[in-house]
Structures are given as structure tokens and as C-alpha cells.
Amino acid sequence: MNVEKIREDFPILKRKINNHPLVFLDSASTSQKPVQVINAIKNYYEMNNANPHRSIYQLCDEATQMYEDARKKVVKFINARNDEEIIFVRNTNEAMNIIVQSYAMDNLKEGDEVLLTVMEHHANIVPWQMLQKKGVKIKFVDIKDDGTLDMDKLKDMMSKNTKIVSVTHKSNVLGSLNPINEIGKISHDNGSLFVVDGAQSVPNMQVDVNNINCDFLAFSGHKMLAPMNIGVLYGKKEILERMEPFMRGSDMIKEVQLTESTWNDLPWKFEAGTPNVEGAVGLSTAIDYLEKIGLDNVEKHEEDLTKHALERLRDVEGVKILSAKNGNGMVSFHLSGVHSHDIAYILNDSGIAIRSGHMCAQPLMRRLGVQSVARASFYLYNTKEEIDKFVDSLENVKKVFKK
């Protein structure tokens, strides 16, 4: 994997921030975009733009084709069975809302339980809280002190009432990869539906829905080189077929009467209104880009960077690592006596972008006993030199705070 060559594809990496080259270490929040993706979107608007599924002129035909081709690309990318199982959404967060509102609200009843983990992103917590008004209980599996999921507790907490298990594949704070195949098997043996939040895993490792045998998988395009506001909900066809639509309106219908309507076939039943064609085109191009490099290579590269970052950070006095023993692709940390916002602000002075705050994982912050953390996350375009610059610049933070 030639990182220098990859970097040339990302125009934003040529930017200077405060007279320093940009060192972008926040890809777990959102990735930067290669020129291939940017051009694909530009070309779409310059050559093919029309409202898909609506008319019969050539542009409409092309736009429809591009949108549906993108879906086919996703089918292959995650090894789904067919187009009907791929719903385009805005992001992981929206996908979770579809599962909760169109599946769980209709199928769960008082006394039923949903099992989550304390390491979930707010997108995989807050939607489920809606179910509490129906008397459904939400339970949280704890982590062990090394930051990995406590599988013994997970097994203990499964009961005949557990109707859904929804777990992140990879934590956005700890970087830990959960044993998703094992959790899937435990869930299905128990008769529970199995949902995977793939927001942090799909961008940088091969995720095969057939292999992990999940009932739903959600992920966002913008963390994997595609634009914002395009994401995917994968669902098993037999489950999606039984579900009511999420949003109602145009394109998701077969026939509309004044007082009633019938629903379109899958997947369009879940895609109301004019879709995000530029997003789908961008996602399709992003998948091409990632597949050309090879997700195995991306994952390996992140492992190397993470290892390097951990080695360097261990030597910095006052730094406490908060990411998990098996964490990959990111390093979350705390610097004694300095709030994460101040760390991020001072690093920005050297052109370095890292995430600070609660990481949209407040329950996990409480579990870790911190109010906020600083996180450096890595992707295919990052280098060891950038990590060195980041670690070296922590000295500036200490200088300002006289630590």
C-alpha cells in the first residue's frame, strides 16, 4: 500500500492550517474524500442529473441507473443476497431509527428486553429509549477493565425476554472489535434479533453480512470516503418485508388513494422522497477506491499506525490511554490536568485535527470515569510522521498549561 500515492488523491491534505500542513487525525468522525469521489459527484451533476424513478427521458434513465448501480455495488461490498436488502439512508443514526420505529415499535411488547452495551454510540442508544414507553426494558452489557466487552455478562443477561441484541462492531472510543460472530450466534440461539452498528468497522475492514449472519447492519458513507448524508441499512429481506414504512410520501408507494395507499416493493418502500443520488454515486466510487486498495491493507495499515501511536504516547508523561487492549484505528487518551477541548485547540495551532469531547458516547464516558476524552483516529492516508508530529505537539499543550 503506497500511502504517499494515496495522499495525492486527497486534495484537502494539501491544505495548510496555521501555516502547518494539515494533519487530519479525525477520520473516525468523518473521513476526507479522494478526488475520484469528488469528481464522480461533479460529473453526475454535469452530465446525468435528473430525478430518478420518475420519467422516461434519457437523463432520468441514467440517474436511475447510477443510483441502482450504486445499490448493487453495496450488495457485493457487504455480501448481501440482493438489492432488496439494501436501503439507502442518510446515516447510521437514521438506519437505527428505521429498525426501532418500523420494526421494534410494532413487534416488541411490555416486558420484552433489548440488550445493548455501555460502549454504544448515542445513535445506538437513544432510538431504543423510545421503546421504554411501551414497557420494554433496555439493558446494557458492561465492559471489562481492559476495555473489551464482558462476554460472560452478555451471556448472563440474555433471557427469554431478550428480543433484540444491538451491538457496535467496533467502538468509536475504545477502538475495540467486538466478537460479532459469537454475539450473533448467542443472539440467534436465544431467538433474538441481531443488529450490528457497523459505522466504525465497515470503513476499514471486510464486513460480510452473510458471514456474521446479522439481521440488520447499519453504516455511514461519510466515514468511508463517501459524502455525508448517504448511508446504508442492510436488513434480511424476510424481516424488511414484514415491516411498515419508516417515512411516508412519494416514491415509497405503489398506489395512492385519497384515504389510503399501498407500499412500493423493497427497497424503495423505505426510501421516501427524492433520493440522494449524488451520495449514492459518491459511495459507489468510494467502494471502488477502497476495494482497489484492499480493505485488508487498510486494516493492516491502521494496525501499524495504532501500534506506533501507542508506543509513542506511552513515553509522554501525564498521558493515560483509554482505548481498549485490542483497540485499533484510534487512540483515545487523557492528559493529566488538561481538558480534551484544550488539547484539541492547542494542537490545532500546529495544524493537527483530533476529536475532543464526549464522543457521542456519554454512558461510556461515565463508565470510564471521565467527562471527555481526546481521540486521534487513523485512516489509509495517515502516516507515522503525522503521528510523530501529533505526539511531539502534545509538549506544546503541556507548555501552555505548565504541566
User: Which CB, 45 or 345, lies closer to another protein?
Assistant: 345
Tell me, what amino acid is at 251?
A: D
Q: What is the pattern of x (binds another protein, CB under 8 A) and - over residues 5-44?
A: -------------x--------------------------
Q: Is the peptide bond before 227 cis (omega within 30 degrees of 0)?
A: no
Residue of the chain from 358, 363, 384, 388 that contacts another protein (CB under 8 A): 358
- Whole-number minimum distance, CB 122 to another protein, in Å? 10
C-alpha span between 275 and 85 (Å, rounded): 17
d(C-alpha 303, C-alpha 305), whole Å:
5
In the complex with another protein, the residue whose CB is nearer, 187 or 372, is 372
Residue type for position 181 = N
CB of 142 to another protein, least distance (A): 21
* Sites for another protein among residues 332-351 (CB under 8 A): 338-342, 345-346, 348-349
Q: Is 365 in the site for another protein (CB under 8 A)?
A: yes
Report, in Å, the least distance between residue 340 CB and another protein: 8
Contact 18, 396 (CB under 8 A): no
Half-sphere exposure of 317 (CA within 13 A, CB side): 5
61 binds another protein (CB under 8 A): no
Which of 118, 149, 360, 365 is catalytic? The answer is: 360
Judged by beta carbon, residue 185 or residue 358, the one nearer another protein is 358
Count of residues near another protein by CB under 8 A: 20
Closer residue to another protein in complex, CB, 40/347:
347
Min separation Cβ 371 and another protein, Å:
5
Using CB under 8 A as the binding rule, the residues of this chain from 280 to 339 that contact another protein are 338-339
* DSSP letters for 70-137: HHHHHHHHTT-S-GGGEEEES-HHHHHHHIIIIIIHHH--TT-EEEEETT--GGGTHHHHGGGGGT-E
**43, 229, 362, 383: which one binds another protein (CB under 8 A):** 362
Question: Rounded to the nearest 5°, which phi and psi values hold at 169?
Answer: -70, -40
Task: With H, G, I as helix, E, B as strand and everything else as coil, classify residue 168.
Answer: strand
- Nearest distance, CB of residue 172 and another protein, angstroms: 15
Pairwise CA distance, residues 299 & 385, whole Å: 18
Report DSSP letters for 277-343, one per residue: HHHHHHHHHHHHHHHHH-HHHHHHHHHHHHHHHHHHHHTSTTEEE-S-TT--SEEEEEETTB-HHHH
Question: Is 214 marked active-site?
Answer: no
Establish if 395 lies at the interface with another protein (CB under 8 A). no
Instruction: Please state, in angstroms and rounded to a whole number, the distance separating the CA atoms of residues 81 and 87.
Output: 13
List residues binding another protein (CB under 8 A).
18, 338-342, 345-346, 348-349, 356-358, 362, 365, 371-372, 400-402
Active site residues: 360
